[in-house]
A = this chain, B = another copy of it.
Amino acid sequence: MAPDPSLHLPGHPPGHLHDKRERILDAAQKVFSEKGFYNATVEEIADLASIGKGTVYLYFKSKVEILVSLIESRIKEIKALILQESRRPTTVGERVRNIITMQFSFYSLYKDFLKVFLSEIGEISGEFGQRLARARADLIETIDDILKSEIEKGNLREFASRIIAYALMGATNAVAFEWLVKENKDPDEECISQLCDFCLYGIAGAPPRHERLFKEAI
């Protein structure tokens, strides 16, 4: 059973944002998502945030600073949620399901962010590119740590946790992107369930049982 995401997700729904910095980030998220970073203009972001163009620069040094701050900020949020979920006492299977489900809920709330997050892999370089890479690595490490801990406890089969952390993240993001962003659907029990099964059997599966597969010629 999936956890109720609304209970854990950050408490600043649109319309309740008194903080101007947050208003800018929210506007940027939307505009970057719609047009991509380079086709978005600072003026558009300012307009959407209902502030003057110059005001943006009181809160962020540059356009790319907005992007990086946005991603860092959201990744920090989702990382916290994942950690929280990972500590809830339950079975491994349930725990993995909860984490994946929670990510779907988060991405569902921040559909725009998911698109931005996945789009800016190669566009930004230099100092800011490094900050982005660090944020990404931070998230992967969180997953990695959880996997390691479960393997240690014998709850999961032995595998190279860091590689699989990337695989898990890649699988989840790809499905979430397709489902939530491209097809713009709501998080769907069946879809999540399919993804969870794939991931779980992948990380929990018993190799010996599968040797069989390699003997069935086709």
User: Of B119, B169, B191, which one neighbours A121 at CB under 8 angstroms?
Assistant: B119
> Which residue on chain B has the smallest CB distance to residue A38?
B38
Contact A96 B171 (CB under 8 A): no
User: Of B123, B133, B147, which one neighbours A203 at CB under 8 angstroms?
Assistant: B147
Q: Note all chain B residues with C-beta closer than 8 A to A207.
A: 157, 197, 201
- How far apart are the CA atoms of A91 and B212 in the complex, in Å? 9
Q: Note all chain B residues with C-beta closer than 8 A to A93.
A: 204, 210, 213-214
A206 CB within 8 Å of chain B: yes
Q: Note all chain B residues with C-beta closer than 8 A to A125.
A: 34-36, 39
For the residues of A in contact with B, the DSSP-based class is helix
Number of copies: 4
Question: How many residues does chain A have at the interface if contact means C-beta atoms less than 8 Å apart?
Answer: 73
Contact A119 B116 (CB under 8 A): no
A59 CB within 8 Å of chain B: no
A153 CB within 8 Å of chain B: yes
A160 CB within 8 Å of chain B: yes
Contact A90 B202 (CB under 8 A): no
> Which residue on chain B has the smallest CB distance to residue A112?
B122
User: Of B116, B170, B179, B218, which one neighbours A153 at CB under 8 angstroms?
Assistant: B218
Q: How far is the CB of A68 from chain B (nearest CB, A)?
A: 14
Q: Note all chain B residues with C-beta closer than 8 A to A209.
A: 204-206, 209
B-binding residues in A (CB < 8 A): 32-39, 89-96, 115-116, 118-125, 133, 147, 153, 155-157, 159-160, 163-164, 166-175, 177-179, 182, 190-191, 194-195, 197-207, 209-210, 213-218
Q: List 22 A-B contacts (CB under 8 A).
A: A36-B122, A37-B38, A91-B215, A118-B121, A157-B204, A157-B206, A157-B207, A160-B190, A163-B175, A164-B194, A166-B171, A166-B175, A167-B198, A170-B175, A171-B174, A173-B174, A197-B202, A198-B203, A200-B204, A200-B213, A206-B209, A209-B209
Having A91-B218, A168-B171, A205-B210, one finds 16 other A-B pairs with CB under 8 Å, namely A38-B123, A89-B218, A93-B214, A96-B204, A157-B205, A163-B175, A163-B195, A167-B175, A170-B170, A170-B172, A170-B175, A171-B174, A198-B202, A200-B213, A204-B209, A205-B205
